[in-house]
Structure 1
Amino acid sequence: MRLLSRVQDGLLALLALIGALAVIALMLHVVTDVAMRNLTNTPIPATYEIVTHYYMISLAFIPLAWVERGGGMVQVEVIEPFLGPRALSWSDRLVALISTVIYGALAWFTWLTALKNFDTGVFVMAQNIPVATWPAYFLLPLGFFLAALTTAIRMFQPTREVEQ
């Protein structure tokens, strides 16, 4: 289990790096576009489409696993004050199981959508320039799969241990 946790931590560090690079790329892209539009009247083509279809999707869905690792997503706090340590541990495991099933289903269905969009070559037109958007559809199943993996590990290694 320690090896799995180390692999998970490595993947989450990689996700944090990807997220940081995406934020920096987003800022540089938008600042460059605004500067070029105002200084030379030649904006970067398809900035809006690239920002909405790539940067925003990656910033919204890739960090799901990182947020789950920190316990920042799904928590059952309504009945926690009434539960003992053992019941809290089982509650955490049940929430992790339900989250894993939901994230797994989301990963599967978004994977099918990504494959369909890959086959058809989905794109948007931006100033008469076709911008391929099908690669961005693969970011969703990646984010959901890593979140499912994180919650599955949490089922067997809950954040709260039962006091003996």
Structure 2
Amino acid sequence: MPSPAAPPAPHGLARVVSAISTGISLLCRGILVLMILQICVDVAMRYVFDISLPGTIAFVSNYYMIAITFLPLAVAERENRHIDVEVLTTNLPATAQAALRLVAWIVCCAIFALMTRESFVEAVEAMHSARYIIENGMKLPVWPSHFILPVGFGAVALVCLSRIVITLLALRIGLTAAVDRARRYYQGDHDHE
């Protein structure tokens, strides 16, 4: 008996997830370039003119580093680049491994959704109190950087949610195949099924 054809994937949700994570990836690359340029200019000014570019350390540590740490989490999840420890699951049947992967996506989605909510509440509080730091007599507002975390966490939650939806919509082809389809979906493998 031939296996049933795979149901159509949720192209709208997948397109949104791909667009968001691609945009985040490009944004992070730009931020990384800006950080490198600012640090290079600061170092050059220090050695050539014996002056420092004001706010470099504060800006790097309160904006650039936060952005390049938390924003790419969704890209790593989309591309299956997070660390997988399979010591306990490698000898389980394929169906059990698939079930555990689906449960992991559900748990991750819930945790990242909670982290999104909580970090957004904190960001709003920081905005209302107009948080800032002072470096070399210069006042640098840091409250905008608090909004980087909910964006990064929300994007990861969205990637996990899309994988859950892709799996659920494909369950008629079997749990193992559906989970594998969701895991490989963003690598373009869905076009050949």
When normalised by structure 2's length, the TM-score is: 0.79
User: Residues 118 and 135 from structure 1, CA distance in 2 versus in 1: closer, same or farther, beyond 3 angstroms?
Assistant: same
Correspondence list, 1:70-149, <5 A: 70-73=79-82, 75=84, 77-149=86-158
Q: Does the CA contact (< 8 Å) of 1:121 and 1:132 recur in 2?
A: yes
CA distance in 1, matches of 2:147, 2:62: 11
In 2, are the aligned partners of 1:124 and 1:132 still within 8 Å (CA)?
yes
- In the alignment, the residues of structure 1 paired with residue 49 and residue 19 of structure 2 have an alpha-carbon distance, to the nearest angstrom, of 44
Moved more, 107-116 or 81-90: 81-90
2:29 to 17, 20, 37: 20
2:160 is aligned to: 151
Query: Structure 1 pair 157/85, CA: closer, same or farther in 2 (3 Å)?
Result: farther
Alignment of 1:3-14 (within 5 A): 3-14=12-23
Please tell me whether residue 160 in structure 1 is matched to residue 180 in structure 2.
yes
Report 1:30-109 matches (<5 A).
30-73=39-82, 75=84, 77-109=86-118
The separation in 2 between residues aligned to 1:34 and 1:43, in whole angstroms, is 7
Aligned mates of 1:75, 1:91 — CA distance in 2: 12
TM-fit CA distance, 1:76:
5.2
Structure 1 residue identity aligned to 2:158 = L
For normalisation by structure 1, the TM-score amounts to 0.93
Structure 1: how far apart are the matches of 2:35 and 2:83?
29
Task: Give aligned pairs, total.
Answer: 162
3-state secondary structure, aligned to 1:80 = coil
Name whichever of 94-103 and 4-13 sits farther off: 4-13
Aligned to 2:80, what secondary structure does the other structure show?
coil
CA offset digits 1:2-48 (Å, max 9, x no partner)? 12111211111111100100110000000001101111122110100
- Give me the identity figure in percent: 25
CA shift for structure 1 position 116: 0.3
1:59-101 CA-to-partner distances (Å, cap 9, x unmatched) read 0000010011122226451332222232222111100001011
5+ residue gaps in structure 2?
1-9, 168-178, 183-193
For 2:62 and 2:157, the matched residues in 1 are separated by 23
What do the CA deviations read for 1:98-135 (whole angstroms, capped 9, x no partner)? 10111111111111110000000000001111000000
Give the Cα separation in 2 of the matches to 1:139 and 1:57: 7
Structure 1 gaps of 5+ residues are none
RMSD value, Cα: 1.6
